[in-house]
Copies of this chain bind each other. A is one copy, B any other.
Amino acid sequence: MKTMHKEHTLTKNQQIIFDLIDKSPEPMKAYSILFNVQKKGIKAPLQVYRALDKLVEIGKIHKIESRNAFIACHNSSCQVANATAFSICEVCEKVTEISSVGLSKYLANFKDKDGMKYSKYNLEFFGLCKKCR
């Protein structure tokens, strides 16, 4: 049985950059990514940003907007929805993707005062992680 969402074969640059982000325990910034992939032949910011744009578009990674950093997705449903939620520790900067059915249902069904619904959203929670309390 086939999966519901389209499969994307990553190109060489996309794969290199995805692998790096996926292995990283913390969100990575674009120029840190650039520095780390220069030995693999990716030399210019644009090469990084183009791969990042595509990876975000297909849901393999997410951008943490408040940090200008990128994290790999491990939640298959994001790859369709572009509906994301994270918790961010304000002390150690640890970022965790939240995958809560309750939360995503609540947000997907939320109506603003014009009765408008939104299938796409980004939520960032801030606080202290377990370790930092």
Contacts and interface: CB of A to CB of B under 8 A. Distances in A.
A126 interface: yes
* Closest 4 pairs between A and B when the two form their complex, measured CB to CB: A118-B125, A65-B65, A120-B126, A118-B127
A46 B127 CA distance: 28
B116 A98 contact: no
Interface in A91-128: 96, 98, 100, 103, 106-107, 110, 112-114, 116-127
Copies of this chain, whole number? 2
A32 interface: no
A110 B103 contact: yes
Contacts of A114: 130
Majority DSSP secondary structure for residues of A touching B: mixed
Given A121-B124, A122-B66, A123-B122, A130 B116 contact: yes
Contact of A112 (B66, B87, B126): B87
B123 A123 contact: yes
A126 B121 contact: yes
A116 B130 CA distance: 8
Contacts of A112: 87, 96, 98, 100, 125
A86 to B, nearest CB: 10
Given A65-B65, A98-B112, A125 B130 contact: no
A120 B130 contact: no
